């Protein structure tokens, strides 16, 4: 599996020629609502131009279901499998087109080309928010989505996941870095990757001090 962090909580996965994008925020739309949310890392437009096979939106907040990003990604000629919990699903499906819009609430599993996607619980201000576990038949990649450190979330998480991607900026009903370390330990994460830092704030992935820390650089492709 190849994985690229495309700022904020956005990730691109590629396996067996299939491309999966999760929570792409490739604009500066948040700054139009709140000037303090002006992005500090420029958009790399190549991630807007690419064609994706699967798009996952974990919840309906602008930096995850971005009204300036998803119409571009989902508006191409190629059909996209779109997985989103009710609030985000109800938003993105208005775009129409040839895409398959699947309501992907917690507890739902969808299999595509040998890749299994499972929606798991998240605890966030969007009550429909989810995390997603992606299994390629070899490893489990768990994207927690925006969430707090919560007992029910721990119990629903894929235990022993190979790579866990956690937003940990500590505001907006996200874990802080201390609780993210406890969370990663609770679910026996093999590698924990900090997300949702550095785009709107001064936090750095290296600030995370968890034992299973793995730091990704923005726009750099990793092979896991």
pLDDT digits (tens, 9 = 90+) for 181-213: 999 999 999 999 999 999 999 999 999 999 999
Distance CA 141, CA 161 (A): 6
- Mean residue pLDDT of the chain comes to 97
Domains identified in the chain, total number: 1
Q: Are the beta carbons of 201 and 195 closer than 8 angstroms?
A: no
CA atoms within 13 A on the CB side of 47: 28
Determine the average pLDDT of the residues in 14-39.
Answer: 96
Which residue, among 20, 59, 18, has the nearest Cα to 6 in the 3D structure? 20
Residue 81: give the domain boundaries.
2-223
Which residue, among 99, 93, 87, 161, has the nearest Cα to 128 in the 3D structure? 87
What is the reported pLDDT for 36?
92
Tell me the three state secondary structure of residue 132: strand
| CATH code of the domain covering residue 125 | 3.60.15.10
pLDDT bin (cut points 50, 70, 90) of residue 131 is: very high
Determine the average pLDDT of the residues in 166-180.
Answer: 98
Full-model pTM: 0.98
pLDDT bin (cut points 50, 70, 90) of residue 86 is: very high
């Amino acid at each position: 599996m190849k994985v690229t962090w495309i700022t904020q909580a956005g990730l691109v996965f590629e396996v067996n020629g299939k491309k999966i994008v999760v929570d792409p925020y490739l604009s500066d739309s948040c700054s139009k609502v709140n000037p303090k949310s002006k992005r500090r890392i420029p958009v790399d437009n190549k991630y807007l131009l690419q064609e994706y096979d699967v798009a996952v939106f974990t919840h309906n907040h602008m930096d995850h279901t971005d009204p300036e990003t998803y119409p571009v990604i989902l508006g191409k000629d190629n059909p996209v499998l779109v997985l989103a919990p009710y609030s985000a699903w109800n938003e993105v499906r208005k775009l129409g087109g040839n895409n398959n819009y699947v309501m992907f609430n917690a507890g739902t599993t969808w299999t595509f080309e040998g890749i299994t996607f499972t929606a798991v619980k998240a605890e966030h201000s969007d009550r429909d928010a989810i995390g997603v576990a992606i299994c390629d038949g070899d490893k489990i990649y768990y994207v927690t989505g925006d969430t707090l450190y919560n007992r029910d979330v721990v119990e629903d998480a894929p235990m022993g996941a190979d790579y866990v991607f956690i937003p940990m900026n500590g505001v907006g009903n996200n874990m802080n870095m201390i609780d993210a370390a406890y969370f990663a330990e609770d679910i026996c994460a093999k590698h924990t990757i900090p997300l949702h830092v550095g785009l709107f704030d001064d936090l750095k992935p290296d600030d995370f001090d968890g034992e299973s820390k793995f730091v990704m650089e923005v726009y750099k492709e990793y092979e896991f």
